Structure 1
Amino acid sequence: MTEQTMLAPDNRTLYGEILRPPAGYVLDQALATTYTLDFETALVVPATMAFHAAENRQDTLDSPLALLEGLERLSSRIAIFCEAGRIKAMPKQGNRLTALLENTVTEVLAPRGGAFHPKLWVLRFAPIDTGPTFMRLALLSRNLTADQSWDLSLVLDGEETAKRNKANKPIMDLVAALPSLATGRGASAANRAIAQSLTQSLNKTSWQHPEQILDICFAVNGITDEAWAPKMGRSVGIISPFVTDEALQELTSEALEDQCYLWGRQDELSALTPETLAKFGHVLVLDDMAETEDGEETTPDSNTAHSRNSVPARGLHAKAFFTEHCYDRRWHTEVTIGSGNATRAALLPSKGDGTGAANVEVFATLTGLRRHIGRVQDQFSPERLGRYLQDFTPYTSETTGTDATIERKLDRLRKMLAQAGLTLRCSEMPGDRIALLLSSQTPLHVPETIGLSVWPLVIGADHSRTIDALDQTDLPLCELALVDVTRWIGVRLEDKASGILQEFTLGTDLRDLPENRTAQILKSVIQNKSAFLNYIRLLLGDVSDAGKALMAAGSGGAGEGAFNTAQDRPLLEDLVRALSGDKQQLHEIERLMARLVDPDTGESDVIPAEFQMLWASFRQVMESETT
C-alpha cells in the first residue's frame, strides 16, 4: 500500500484558516455559496477575516465590538448566496447586527427546481505593498453553519496572470449566474459587482496543484441542461451521506463488487434495495461518532419515506467519489470532491418532472498517478479512513411515509413563501417606534391544515403573528424599536394534525426605513465612553493586536476588558501616526462620530468631551489638506 492517500484524516484545516489572507495581503473581495446558513456564523466571518487572532467562534460572538468592526470593515466586500428559506431559525431573540448583513446575504433558488447546493468560497487578496493579485478557491462539503460533521475541503491558491485559464470556466459560469438566481428583492448592487469582478479574476487565475496532482477539472450542475457525473471505472469508492438507488446503480455500472466501497449514513443505506447494496463489497458507516443533522437533501428523489428527518446524521457530511483509470499505459487515481451527494437530484439527467439533475452543485476532480496517491482500496484501509469506520448493519427507519409527505408539503409552502416577493414597510410611530407592515407581491393562501406564524427576527417568536393569507395589502405585523428593525423575519410552519414543525428565516424587501437605523445599532453596541475609546483604538491599532485584545475581553467586549481606559495607551500617538499615513482610519473615525452625535444638539453621551476637543484639531488639519 502506498504511504500516501488523498484523504488523510489527520490533515485537518480550520475553517478560519481558509478565510484569512496570506502574509503581506489584505482581503479585497470574497464570495461564498451555501445551502444552509446561520447568522451567527455569518457574523463571525468578517471578524475572522479582519482579526487574525479570532480562533474561536464563541469568543468572537461574545465580543460585540469585534463583530461590529468586522462587519463595518469588510461586509461590503463579502457576498454570500444561500438557498431561499434555508437560513437557520432563530426562535429566540436574534442579534441586532444581522441588520448589517442585509446587503451581504442574497437568497437564491435553483433554476431547475431542485436545491441550491454548492459550497464554495472565491477570495481575492490584494498586496499591501507590491505583488501579484492572490486568489483562493475553496470547495467544501459543509455549509456556512456551526455544523460539526465530518467534512472535506479542497483549497487552491493561485495568482492572476495575463493568460486565460479555460479550466476555470465551470466555476466562472456559476459565479456569474448567481445574481440572476436571486429571489425576492434580488441581489444587492454590491453583490452583483462582486460576482462580476471575481468572475473576471477567475478567467485569468492559475492554480497551484496539490502535491502529486497532475490535473484538476471542475464541473457544475444545475445551471444548464447538461448533467455531469464522475466517470467511474471498475474500482469505485463513494462517500455520501445521502444516496439513492438509481444514482448508485449508474455509478457502479462497470464496477467489480469486491472493488466497490460505500460509506454513508446508516438510515440512508437502510433505505436502499438489496440489489443496490449487493453492488458494493464494502458498505461502511462511522464508528460511534457524534450525531449531527445539517438538514441537507430535502428535495426528495422519489416517494420513499427516507427523504428527511428520519434519524440524525451520524457525523458524516463529506462527499467524495474515487475511481481508477489507465491513461497512456499508466494507472491514475481520480478523486472527485464537492457538494453533490450520490443522488438523482445531484448527478443524473432530469426526467422533466422537477427531480433529477435539478440541484445546483459544484465539483472538482483531482487526478494523480495511482502509485503516488493510492488505489481506491487504500483510501479506506485500516491505516487511513478505515480506522474510523465499521461495517454497515441495516437500520429500520422509524419515519413513516406519512411523515415524509408532510415534510414535502411544508417544503412546498416554504418555497412559495420564498417566491412570493415579501415586503416589509416601515411606518414611523411616536417614541422612535416603528410599525412593520407585511405584504407579498404574489397572493399566498395558507392551507387550512398548516399553521403559519411570522415575527421580526430580532425580537423573537414571542412576538409572532399567525397569518392565513398574504397579498399586496399591508398586514400589520407588530411595533418595535427602530434599533430592532431588519429585513429578516422568522417563520414557523406547523402541520396541525401531526405537530411537525419547520422553522427558518426569510429575507424581505425592507422599505421606508429611517436613515438613522444603523446609527441606532452602533449606539446599542457602543453604549458608553469606555466602549467608544475601545472602538477608536480598534480603528487605529494593529489588526492582530486589536483582535487579541477583543478576544481577551470576551463577553465584556461592549466596554470592559483588555483596552479599559484611555490611560492604557495614549490615543494622541495613534492619531498622529494615522494623520501621517493615508488617513483612511481618520475618515472612519469621522464617519463613526457623525453617526454617534445627535444631529440637533451636536452632542453625544458616549463620546468623551476631551476626545471631541482633540478631534476638532485633527478635523481642522484634514480639512485644510483637502482645500
Structure 2
Amino acid sequence: MLEPQSRAAFAEELKPPPGFDLSYAVGTTFTLDLATALSVPLSFASRRVSAADDKLGILESIRQFTDRIDIFCQAGEMRLGTNSDLVALLESMIHPVDLRNHGGLFHPKVWFLKYRNLNDKDDVAYRFLCASRNLTDDRSWDILLRLDGRRVDTPNAELRAQNEPLARLLRSLPDWSINPLDPARAGRVKRFARWIRDVEWEQLDGAAPTFHFFDGTGASTLDIHGTRALVISPFISDDGLAHIRSKLSGAVALLSREEQIDRLSPESLDAKLHTYVLNKAVLEGEEEDAASRLVGLHAKALVLNGNRKARVVVGSANATGGAYSRNAEMMVEFELSRAKYGLDATWEALGELKEPYLSDGGKETPEQEKLEYELDSVGRQLASVRFWVQRVDEKPHGVQVWADSAIQDVLRRASRKGITVRWEMLSNPAVSSYEFAVTEESAGLYGGLDLTDISPFLRITVTAENGTKQTTILLAEMLGDLDERRDAIIARQLTDTRTFMRLLALMLEISGLWMDEPVNKTGAGFLFNGSGRNDEPALMEAIVRAVAGKSQGLEDAKRIIDIIRKKDQDGTGEPILPPGFDELWKNAWKAHRLLQKLNKTGSADGQG
C-alpha cells in the first residue's frame, strides 16, 4: 500500500469492472482543476471510446455521464488548468462547498462508486477510493487505497456501524454545498448514504477497514496510540505533531518537506523525532520520461507500531492542528501484521526514496508566502458567497451577475488590507471584466453576447497592493438558462462534415446501439468506408437502428443537428451536414415520432 514501486493511475481505478457500467459516482476533493475533471466522465465512457477519440470522445462521454456524477470541492480552490471550452459541460456535476462556521477546510479526497452489470441489472458492485490526491494534474507522490465491495442481503448492526463514517460524509455533502443542489441530485446523494451502510468491503490480509470521518468540529474516532511510529505528511505544524505524538511512547520518524520541517519550533525537534525528506536525486532519476517523474511529496499516512500489531492509516489528513480539529477529512485504518506492514517493513519499502534531513527549526514563514495565503483566504471567502448569473435578453443575449449581500463584509475586510477584487466570465473574459465595489449591489449587466459566451463559471482575481495576484474560479447559480446553450457549445466543436459524423456515431454508440465496427480516430468505421467517403447505406442503418431502439441518443442528436442546420443556412462557413442528410434525417425523425405516438397509445390501451 505504501510501496513506491507500485504505480496506479487514478483514472484506471475509476473504470468499471469488466461487464459493468457506471451507475453513479460521488467524488470529493480539496482543489479541483476543471480540465482534469474532464477525465472523470471519460473514465466511465464506453470502452470503445478511448483517448484516441480526442476532443470528440471526451465531449460525448461528458455529455453522457455528467448526470451520473457529483463532485464536491472546497469553494475557492477551483482552477481551470489547461484551457478548454468543454469545461462548460461540467457545470451540473461540480458543487463547491464550505464548512460554514466551522472555520476549517473541506479536505477529503474520496470516491464512492456504484456499478451495474450490463447483462443483469440486479447485479451491483461498489468501490471506495480513499486518496491523498486532489483532482488536479499534480505529479507529486500520493497514496491511493481502493476497496471493492458488495451489499449484503441481510443488514446487520456491526456492518452499519463500520460504514457509518462513510454515510455521515455523504449525508453532509448537500448541506455544505454553496448552491442548493438540484433536488434529484441531493436525493441521490442521500440515498447513496443509505446504500453504503450495507456494503461489505474486501479485507486486507484478513483485516477489515476502519473508517474515520473528521466532520470539522474536532470529532473523530481515530485514536492515535502505540510505541514507534512513522508520520508521512507534506504539511505539518507544532500542534498537529504534538497531538499525534501525545500517546506514542517511542521514537517518531517524520517524512515531510524541507521548508515545513524548518518551520517547526526547536522544542518539537527533540531527540525522539527523526526527520526525513524525499530524495530528489532518486525521484529525478527513476523515470526516463520526465513527464512521468514524481516531483514532490503529497502523501499522508501514519504507521503505528503496537506491541504485536501495526496500524496503517491513510487518507487526507496532514499532521496539522487544523486537520484534526477544524477540517473535514477522511482516513482509513487497517490493523495488520507488524512484521509485514509495520514501521520497519514500510521503511524498507521506501528504500532510497527517503533521506535524513537535519534542521534546527524556528524559521519564519516568508512574508510573500503569508501574503499569498491571505489572498487565497480572500478567494475562498468570496467563493463561499452565493452568486447568480441570469440571462436577460434574447439574441444577442444579455446577462446580469450579482452576489448575496454577504459579499459586502468580505469586500470591506479585503479593502482595509489594500486588496482589490476583479471578476470575469470564464467563457469570454474580454466582454465581462469587472472590479467589485463595496457599495454596489449588482456586479454587472452585459449585453450583445453569443449564447456560448454565457457561463456560471466566474474567474476571480484577488490583487494585493504590491501587485501579487491569486486567481480562483467560483460557480454561480444560473437563472433563465437554456438547454441549447450546452448544445451550442457542442456544435461549436464540429468544424466539418467528418467531425459531425464522428460525433453522431459516438452519440449513438455510447447510447447502447453497438455497431459492427468501432469508430476510430480517423473517422473510419460504420459511417465511413476506408476512403473516407460518406457511406449512406451504413448511415441509414445506424439511424434506423436508433429509431427502432428508442435511443435517447437520437433525441440528443436532434438538438445538435438543429443548431448545425442553422449555421449551414447562415452561409458563414463551409457546410457541415453532408449532402442528402436533411432528407434522411427528416424521414427518420418522422418515423421516431410516429413510433413514440404508437407506443403511448398502445400503453394507454393496455397493449404496450
Q: 2:465 aligns with which of 496, 515, 519?
A: 496
Counterparts of 1:417 and 1:367, CA distance in 2: 42
Preserved contact between residue 322 and residue 336 of structure 1 (Cα < 8 Å) = yes
How many equivalent pairs are there? 571
Preserved contact between residue 163 and residue 211 of structure 2 (Cα < 8 Å) = yes
Counterparts of 2:282 and 2:426, CA distance in 1: 30
1:269 and 2:261 aligned: yes
1:17 and 2:12 aligned: yes
Any residues of structure 2 matched to 1:51-450 within 5 Å, and which?
51-52=46-47, 63-89=54-80, 94-111=83-100, 112-130=102-120, 132-164=123-155, 165-166=159-160, 167-183=162-178, 185-210=179-204, 212-224=205-217, 226-257=219-250, 259-278=251-270, 280=272, 282-288=274-280, 315-326=296-307, 331-347=308-324, 357-371=325-339, 373-381=340-348, 384-394=349-359, 400=365, 402-428=367-393, 432-444=396-408, 445=411, 446-447=414-415, 449-450=418-419
Paired residue for 1:48? 43
Shift of 1:479: 5.4
Counterparts of 2:499 and 2:27, CA distance in 1: 32
* Greater helix proportion: 2
Shift of 1:48: 2.2
Task: Return 33-42 or 522-531, whichever deviates more.
Answer: 522-531
Preserved contact between residue 89 and residue 503 of structure 1 (Cα < 8 Å) = no
Change (3 A) 1:519 1:462: closer
Preserved contact between residue 23 and residue 114 of structure 2 (Cα < 8 Å) = yes
Shift of 1:249: 2.2
Partner SS, residue 280 of structure 2: coil
Partner SS, residue 276 of structure 1: coil
Shift of 1:33: 0.4
Shift of 1:465: 2.3
> How big is each residue's C-alpha offset from its partner over 1:365-416, in whole Å with a ceiling of 9 and x where there is no partner?
0122224x232122012xx112211111439899755435534542442233
Change (3 A) 1:587 1:512: closer
Shift of 1:484: 1.9
Paired residue for 2:489? 521
Paired residue for 2:593? 623
Preserved contact between residue 106 and residue 188 of structure 1 (Cα < 8 Å) = no
> How big is each residue's C-alpha offset from its partner over 1:404-445, in whole Å with a ceiling of 9 and x where there is no partner?
553454244223312332222333266x34344444433523
Change (3 A) 1:568 1:580: closer
Counterparts of 1:7 and 1:38, CA distance in 2: 26
Shift of 1:230: 4.2
Counterparts of 2:144 and 2:575, CA distance in 1: 48
Preserved contact between residue 107 and residue 316 of structure 2 (Cα < 8 Å) = yes
Partner SS, residue 566 of structure 1: coil
Change (3 A) 1:238 1:139: same
Bigger relative contact order, structure 1 or 2 (CA pairs below 8 A, ≥6 apart): 1
Change (3 A) 1:563 1:199: farther
Change (3 A) 1:275 1:475: same
Paired residue for 1:29? 24
Counterparts of 1:337 and 1:426, CA distance in 2: 46
Preserved contact between residue 339 and residue 362 of structure 1 (Cα < 8 Å) = yes
Q: Which amino acid aligns with 1:487?
A: P
> How big is each residue's C-alpha offset from its partner over 1:300-345, in whole Å with a ceiling of 9 and x where there is no partner?
xxxxxxxxxxxxx96001000011234xxxx221100000001111
Q: Which amino acid aligns with 1:320?
A: A
Paired residue for 2:428? 459
Change (3 A) 1:442 1:490: same
Counterparts of 1:197 and 1:562, CA distance in 2: 49
Gaps of 5+ in 2: 285-293, 599-608
Q: 1:606 aligns with which of 565, 576, 583?
A: 576
Change (3 A) 1:223 1:450: closer
Preserved contact between residue 30 and residue 77 of structure 2 (Cα < 8 Å) = yes
Preserved contact between residue 110 and residue 358 of structure 1 (Cα < 8 Å) = no
